A and B are shown apart, each in its own frame.
Chain A
Amino acid sequence: MESTKKSALGSFGAFLNRGTTPYILTFALTLLSTVLVYSSPRSIPAFLLFAISAALVYFLKLKKGYQLGMAVLIAVVIVPILGARNIFYLEVIFQIAVFAALALGLNIVVGFSGLLNFGYMAFYAVGAYLWGFFGSQQAFLLHEIPGTAPQGTPFLLAPDWFYLFIFLGVIVASIVGLILGLPVLRVRGDYLAIITLAFGEIVRQLANNFDKPLNLTNGPQGITPIQRPTLPRGLMTWFNSVVQPIVGHSITDDQFYNIMFYLIALLIVITVVIVTSRLDDSKIGRAWAAVREDELAATAMGIPANKLKLGAFAVGASFAGAMGVLFAASRTFVSPDTFTFLQSVSVLTMVILGGIGSIQGVIIGAAVVVILNIQLLPSLSLFLANLRQSDAVIPIINFPWKNLSNQLDPSKYQRLIFGIILIVMMIYRPAGIIPASRKKRELKGAVGADPSTGGRGQGAFSEDAKADEGADRG
């Protein structure tokens, strides 16, 4: 049963990968979905089609140059224009990028080195509060009661310090990662999970309570306004001159900020992917995997396990730090509510759902969770809520939606559906959407005898080809 399903999928994949088919397919699909999204900006199927066509560019067997070209076209041209048309999509993609970077960072800790971490949001908070403090007026409000900023309080730093602070965020978060790492080295498994959970809560509570004796964080109210970097006016005029004829209106500052933050987030994600995949394919990545598999054997093979675990914490934390700085600037606001335990868990969900230890998987996981959470499920709720307003009846049982009691309000089912999706995924695909696979190396002795070489021609729908893809990109 399983095997026939797989081979059917495989031959479908082979069909998609034959000759020029993938080129025509991806190009046509991208074009079609772009037009669809553009003409009906609120249509969810159109957006999903767009997402799928972008994913196909990656997963079908295409020439690298073509893939890169399409990726740049989609990321740098199509998305900003669609975003200018409907800012909501830009928000979705921005969040995907932010969470992809977070999930990739957590993946280093949880996926590569096998250390459970339930307090990952703490590092994101460190980055966010770093720019939150230095990029706002907070430094001059240390002795003020929260929420009583006097008129005309100056800002501490010029807005363009933001760019430097992305790097500072990396450094500070990785130092905090090391500090968390130190006590964590003594414990394993469940105990580690509890310690990291506690750490996450401590950082959030610090943010909550550090409004006295010195008002560093402005307490539960959060810090606002936080500066955004200045807009590159020249670029904006140029962008407007291109986009205005297409979209029909010129882009406001806020919209341009959204596009800019999206592009910065994209840049960070690309950097993170490169760093992660290159580390993974080095002695450090191998040592992480060895520590995850069997720490004792790893140390007996000469691996300083503690050093590597600390390293994993620091590197994982650093990505979150960079994204935290970006987040603070893009929202112009930080408050402790963003960094809850639930958020840490949802990043962990992305990692596990996408495929623990797998770089592509984790990105897909972030995309799926974000799209589900802020797009699909809310619109489903909206749809059901509308049904309740109407005279429609529930089919088969002929029960009018209107008469449904408040406790059974279908719009409250969002979390339920999300939970069911998670449960089903974990039962039927426990290794995630794209499971992690080890890199297949080209060995001189193994020509022909290596079963994985048979998979090469098969294309993207067989596991081996995916592994090859991942390796090529590394």
Chain B
Amino acid sequence: MAELILEAKGVVKRFGGLIAVNNIDFTLERGSICSIIGPNGAGKTTFFNTISGLYKPEEGEILLEGKRIDRLSPDKITAIHMARTFQNIRLFGSMTVIENIMVGAYTRLKQNAVQAVLRTKAFKDEETRAQAKAEELMDYIGLKNVGNELAGSLPYGVQRRVEIARALASAPRLLLLDEPTAGMNPSESEDATSLFRRLRDELGITILLIEHDMKVVMNISERISVMDYGEKIAEGTPSEIANNPRVIEAYLGRGAAGGDAAEIAAAAAEGSDVGEEASK
């Protein structure tokens, strides 16, 4: 078994009386692409927020590369090479695209205020490098000629890409993507899927995503975890998940069969062989 990059043990997150994340155990192998799916309100994003430090779990432990991170602040977690994107894109709208990406590199830049004021050679070199790196990332993600545009003025699909580029600028080893293809048309989400695969294959980044688009999920994931009412109800390969009665029940209600469930199964059949190929 490969080394675990992320490990969650008995994580509980409550909001008042509501248990949003209930006693979740979760592991993620280095170099894999995995998904978390589940109906709306299942607690997927809350789980993401807990992993990335925006929420503190009431119980349980979270380990990143064997190190406890559940008491660390989000910026410290980013510093130890975990990055994320948001479900409802949260770019810095009135900053340019290139600045957004350079903000992502914050923890990787060593400059301090004194160097910045004195414009030392080290500072200038680092700024030049940071900008070059940001441009490189833009090329890699496929963002052309938008470097000086304000991020808020860009079309939705481009903003999604900028957000991924910004996350990549922090040199993550684990990347959390919260519904990265939401609002994309089929061809866009296909591009996105192949991008995620490139990130893993070429840059060696482990990817965990929350996704609603079953086609994407079944296509790209090596393993899928299913959440419902804050609990993990199933885990397995795409084909296992597609045929899991509890999953079908969670999505479609008790007693539902055939119909929409068949769609999931069909998507799984289509995608799983590609996914397995990638994992070899």
Residues of A within 8 A of B (CB): 274-275, 278-279, 281-284, 286-287, 289-290, 293-294, 296-305, 311, 315, 438-441, 443-446, 449-450, 452
Q: A275-B117, A284-B113, A303-B103 are in contact. Are A297 and B148 (CB under 8 A)?
A: no
- Give min CB distance, B222 to chain A, whole Å: 25
Contact residue range for chain B?
35 or more
In the complex, what distance in Å separates the CA atom of A300 from the CA atom of B78? 7
Closest 6 CB pairs of A and B: A302-B78, A282-B116, A302-B107, A297-B90, A293-B92, A449-B145
The answer to whether B95 and A278 have CB atoms under 8 Å apart is no
What residues on A are CB-neighbors of B75 within 8 Å? 299-305
The answer to whether B147 and A443 have CB atoms under 8 Å apart is yes
B231 in contact (CB, < 8 A): no
The answer to whether A445 and B139 have CB atoms under 8 Å apart is yes
What residues on B are CB-neighbors of A299 within 8 Å? 54, 73-75
The answer to whether B103 and A300 have CB atoms under 8 Å apart is no
B211 in contact (CB, < 8 A): no
Least CB separation from A450: chain B residue: B148
Q: How many A-B residue pairs have CB under 8 A?
A: 129
The answer to whether B144 and A289 have CB atoms under 8 Å apart is no
The answer to whether B54 and A300 have CB atoms under 8 Å apart is yes
Q: A293-B93, A293-B94, A299-B75 are in contact. Are A286 and B103 (CB under 8 A)?
A: yes
The answer to whether B148 and A282 have CB atoms under 8 Å apart is no
B210 in contact (CB, < 8 A): no
What residues on A are CB-neighbors of B130 within 8 Å? 283
The answer to whether A302 and B170 have CB atoms under 8 Å apart is yes
The answer to whether A445 and B145 have CB atoms under 8 Å apart is yes
- Give min CB distance, A188 to chain B, whole Å: 16
CB interface residues, B 83-97, toward A, < 8 Å: 83-84, 86, 90-96
Contact with A along B260-278 (1 / 0, CB 8 A): 0000000000000000000
What residues on A are CB-neighbors of B147 within 8 Å? 441, 443, 445-446, 450
- Give min CB distance, B169 to chain A, whole Å: 8
In the complex, what distance in Å separates the CA atom of A290 from the CA atom of B102? 11
Least CB separation from A307: chain B residue: B75
In the complex, what distance in Å separates the CA atom of A305 from the CA atom of B102? 16
What residues on B are CB-neighbors of A452 within 8 Å? 148
The answer to whether B148 and A289 have CB atoms under 8 Å apart is no
- Interface centre among A294, A297, A439, A444, by most chain B C-beta atoms within 10 angstroms, is A297
What residues on B are CB-neighbors of A289 within 8 Å? 92, 94-95, 99, 103
Q: A278-B117, A289-B99, A290-B95 are in contact. Are A296 and B111 (CB under 8 A)?
A: no
Contact of B99 among A275, A286, A298 (CB under 8 A): A286
What residues on B are CB-neighbors of A304 within 8 Å? 73, 75
In the complex, what distance in Å separates the CA atom of A220 from the CA atom of B232? 68
B127 in contact (CB, < 8 A): yes
The answer to whether B117 and A279 have CB atoms under 8 Å apart is yes
